[in-house]
Chains A and B, each alone.
Chain A
Amino acid sequence: MSERLTVAKTYKLYVGGAFPRSESGRSYPVQDAKGAFLANAAQASRKDVRDAVVAARKALGGWSRATAYNRGQVLYRVAELLEGRREQFVAELGASEGLAAKRAQSIVDLVVDRWVWYAGWADKIATVLGAANPVAGPYFSFSVPEPTGVVGVLAPQSSSLLGLVSVVAPVIATGNTAVVVASQDRPLPAITLSEVLATSDVPGGVVNVLTGRTAELAPWLASHADVNALDLTGAPEATTTELERAAAGTVKRVLRAGAAEPDWTVAPDVKRLRAFLETKTVWHPKGT
């Protein structure tokens, strides 16, 4: 019997809960850490960015109005499914990032823990960032955090799974919806994460995952008038100034990136949760 041929996959995008091909019809080869061919990924174009933003905007109403408790439960369920795909994530991390099996195992552990950690924050963040304000007048004044809206996320380029989860989970835990541009050279874990999200209870459009050239897609995301915030974590360093300028044109909230990619294994704080929340303060008359 002849040797079995391996099936070379051509992955697609994840937009609005479906897996469409890129509007442009393009795809690009993805290589492993040693430069061997892994699979083909869709190469998104500006029109895919536009479609993803439309899907994210459509999903925002339902997701941001869902109770925080419900959002938390939905995210816990995602963590369960992440656990179920453990083997696949370990294999993909090993191939994409060139990690030894043990190291990849411990990263996937961290990924699931990180997701659970952010899921837990969904119904607790309001009590930490909100407040009943002491005011000098006959008013009951209180402040509550509200989601910013549609957030464009440029995912970290080198940490393709732990980094990705660390930037996406806080965005959706607080009730925003996200258009994520995955790591350009290591998109496979992001694609698998989108398969996890598609089979979970997360409504379609809450997370949209685009693969392709970050430098090509980022300017369209930054200038799009219907995107409310931008996370520059994975932006090519030479382009960050230009992206900030484009984002300023429509007054986006921008989360700047450091010079180097942070160490994602360090335990996070609420900084990323706070980045895409706005504060609403209500003054309610009281007394007679």
Chain B
Amino acid sequence: MAAPSPANTGLPPALADATRDETSLRRFLHGLPGVDQVGVEQRAAGLATRSIKKAAKLWAIDTAIGMVDLTTLEGADTAGKVRSLCAKGRRPDPERPEVPRVAAICVYPDMVTTAVEALGDSGIHVASVATAFPSGRSSMPVKIADTELAVAAGADEVDMVIDRGAFLSGRYGRVFDEIVTIKHACGDAHLKVILETGELATYDNVRRASWLAMLAGADFIKTSTGKVSPAATLPVTHVMLQAVRDWHTATGTRVGVKPAGGIRTTKDAIRYLVAVHEVAGPEWLNPDLFRFGASSLLNDLLMQRRAQLDGHYSGPDYVTVD
């Protein structure tokens, strides 16, 4: 295992010590308190029953729109599709210019150039998945090249996947090194680390992977690729929000959280916002610290926004098909 990266300098002694070698890393991760499965699921279900209406709902919808990473990660993506997605990101509802822009457009590395051109100086970030997304099954040089390709093309956020095989077989040092190396390859670009919680099997593993990613220098921890079911769930996001809160208590820096995949309705999105506020804190209700990885969510948010303002229900005929 490599020496601690520059990203970790300045950590409190206990955390810096954890990254010294593989043994201490393992000792630290396995020393994290276990997750009370029943408790976290009950708490997540309890928070999901909060009723958010009227002005608060409108605020939540606008906040959620501003947090969306509008995503297209299909084999069938074309430059035209990415351009139309960018246009939608800049002005989600053309009839209502006051609707906020989305936070970022998320594409495959070869589409980054197209997205950067289409977004211009709009201030919307371009996120690119990298490191052999979605499986992460490739050699290190390939993953580095993948990342550099995305960054060179102009991506200012990189979504990397961890090697779940290595993580599950207990080779934490390998995962740690990988994140550190990719973080280095990212340069100034923000690094989001995809844990793919659907493959991690337990909440304990989710907590360990979250801490591992933060120790290695992640700017964001992200639940899923969206290609594996189950993708983001409320309890998993809960565990990750607890991790970033505890990380902030320990180090004073704030790491972001991005649930991705399976969030399709406004109701779901508002439940996540409630969880963010209650578990991590109001500081996280900010596109710099919380994002939704989604594609169909935006249309539902727009339809709900119209229903709130027009006084009658809207329909899918009134938003763009994408």
Q: Which residues of A contact B (CB under 8 A)?
A: 49-50, 53, 57, 220, 223-227, 246, 249
Contacts and interface: CB of A to CB of B under 8 A. Distances in A.
A53 B313 contact: yes
Among B311, B313, B317, residue most surrounded by chain A Cβ atoms (within 10 Å): B313
Interface string B295-322: 0000000000000000111111110000
A212 B17 CA distance: 66
A226 B312 contact: no
Contacts of B313: 49-50, 53, 220, 223-226
Given A224-B312, A225-B312, 14 more contacts: A49-B313, A53-B313, A53-B315, A57-B315, A57-B316, A223-B311, A224-B315, A225-B315, A226-B313, A226-B314, A226-B316, A227-B315, A246-B312, A249-B312
A250 B312 CA distance: 10
Contacts of B311: 223
Contacts of A224: 312-313, 315
A226 B315 CA distance: 4
Nearest to B315: A226
A249 B306 CA distance: 14
B294 to A, nearest CB: 19
A70 B312 CA distance: 36
In order of increasing CB-CB distance, the 10 nearest A-B pairs are A226-B315, A223-B312, A225-B315, A224-B313, A225-B314, A50-B313, A225-B318, A225-B313, A224-B312, A226-B313
Contacts, number: 28
A224 B303 CA distance: 12
Nearest to B318: A225
A185 B15 CA distance: 70
B316 A220 contact: no
Interface residues of B, number: 8
B56 to A, nearest CB: 18
Binding site secondary structure of chain A: helix
Interface in B171-195: none
Contacts of B316: 57, 226
Most buried by A among B311, B312, B314: B312
Nearest to B314: A225
A246 B318 CA distance: 17
Interface string B126-142: 00000000000000000
Contacts of A246: 312
A57 B313 CA distance: 13
12 contacts: A53-B313, A53-B315, A224-B312, A224-B313, A224-B315, A225-B312, A225-B317, A226-B313, A226-B315, A226-B316, A226-B317, A227-B315
Interface in B128-165: none
Interface string B70-109: 0000000000000000000000000000000000000000
A256 B77 CA distance: 47
A245 to B, nearest CB: 12
B18 to A, nearest CB: 49
Most B CB atoms within 10 A — which of A220, A226, A227? Answer: A226
Contacts of A50: 313
A1 B7 CA distance: 83
Nearest to B306: A225
B270 to A, nearest CB: 15
Nearest to A46: B313
Contacts of B317: 225-226
A224 B318 CA distance: 12
Residue among B315, B317, B318 with the highest chain A CB neighbour number at 10 A: B315
A223 B316 CA distance: 15
Contacts of B312: 220, 223-225, 246, 249
Contacts of A223: 311-313
Nearest to A224: B313
Contacts of B315: 53, 57, 224-227
A59 to B, nearest CB: 14
Contacts of A220: 312-313
A227 B314 CA distance: 9
A223 B318 CA distance: 14
Contacts of B314: 225-226
A49 B318 CA distance: 19
A277 to B, nearest CB: 19
A227 B316 CA distance: 11
A57 B318 CA distance: 14
A23 B311 CA distance: 19
A161 to B, nearest CB: 30
A226 B307 CA distance: 12
A50 B315 CA distance: 10
Contacts of A227: 315
A224 B310 CA distance: 10
A242 B317 CA distance: 24
Nearest to A150: B315
Contacts of A249: 312
Nearest to A223: B312
Contacts of B318: 225
Contacts of A49: 313
A227 to B, nearest CB: 8
A188 B312 CA distance: 29
A181 to B, nearest CB: 15
